[in-house]
Amino acid sequence: MSAPVFNVSVVVPCYRSATMLPELVERLDEVMTGCAGAHEVLLVVDGSPDDTWPVASTLAMKYDTVHAVELARNYGQHNALLAGIRAARYGVVVTLDDDLQHPPEEIPRLLAALDEDVDLVYGTAIDEEHGAVRSLASRLVKAAMSGHLGVRDARSIGAFRAFRTFLRDSFDQVHGPHVSVDVALSWGTTRIRAVSVHMNRRADGESGYTVRKLIQHATNMILGYSVIPLRLVTYLGLAVGLGGFVLFGHVLWQYFSGATSVAGFTTVTAMLALFSGAQMMGIGVLGEYVGRIHAGGMGRPAYVVRQTVQSSGDQAPTG
């Protein structure tokens, strides 16, 4: 059985990539013409301070399939991706970086893995394309996503991905400065696959995704998409409360055994232990309610419709 031919929207967030975009677009045009039915390339310029926008707009005038989108300022890679994904017109979205680390020639591998049982495909590097420290930081971020955010197959995630466009319905209510496309995609599907692809070193300049930026991104994801910090306060409150009751019992035992001779010590200590525990438990319960409000406001969908089937005779009248 031959692999299906998709209509594909390629989304490329662009920042400080003026020298690399012409080669990237040329290679994309050649590859996508051969592996997709129809295609478009969305160059989302994320407030780049160099000549990236003039180059992108020139390429959009040169190629019919290229569309250049300039954001008002620098919002960050995932926000630029979100803008491109929402503008995509075709049934499959492919995302890749602008620095030629993700070879366009590997896109057919992603599309071939996107069979009827798969909604999202990640391209994972056969060989690490970053340095040891940067790669370690990236693995730690992915481990945090897997362990604390419940993202399935988080250790395989990356910026080189292909997914069915209907998944964007799972995060159409997501707004704000701290967006994680991978967390949002995990809300829509568990049909995820990883394929090994060749990746290159950055062709020019240095990546803006430093170790500090990765740590900042991980912090934003945990605080923005998880109630774990609030839940930790609840557990701390229970632990302090239990410790307070144990201390209260210990102070009473010292009092009745005559080990305490300072007047009022037993009363003050017992009150501090009990009220400290009660306060921490109260904060924990309040945190749970705040966490539920936060979870309800982050835009996570109640459901996502994959597709619908309707007989022509059952269609509702349009008049």
CATH 3.90.550.10 fits 8-225, yes or no: yes
Least confident of 3-17, 126-140, 154-168: 126-140
Task: Over range 199-214, report the average pLDDT.
Answer: 64
Task: Over range 126-131, report the average pLDDT.
Answer: 60
Q: What is the Cα–Cα distance from 302 to 170, expressed in whole angstroms?
A: 9
pLDDT of residue 139 exceeding 60, the answer is no
Taking the domains of the chain in order of start, what are their residue ranges? 8-225, 228-297
| 107 or 130, greater pLDDT | 107
**Over the stretch 23-54, which tens digit does the pLDDT of each residue have?**
999 999 999 999 999 999 999 999 899 999 99
- Report, in angstroms and rounded to the nearest whole number, the Rg of the chain calculated over CA atoms: 26
pLDDT at residue 117, as a whole number: 92
143 pLDDT band (50/70/90 cuts)?
A: low
pLDDT at residue 86, as a whole number: 92
pLDDT at residue 240, as a whole number: 72
Task: Over range 250-270, report the average pLDDT.
Answer: 70
pLDDT at residue 220, as a whole number: 65
62 pLDDT band (50/70/90 cuts)?
A: very high
DSSP per-residue string spanning 134-176: HHHHHHHHHHHHHHHS--TTGGG--S-EEEEGGGGGGGTT--S
Nearby residues of 80 by Cβ (< 8 Å), 6 or more positions away:
13, 14, 15, 44, 46, 71
pLDDT at residue 180, as a whole number: 80
pLDDT of residue 133 exceeding 60, the answer is no
Q: What is the mean pLDDT of the chain?
A: 78
Share of the chain above pLDDT 90, in %: 38
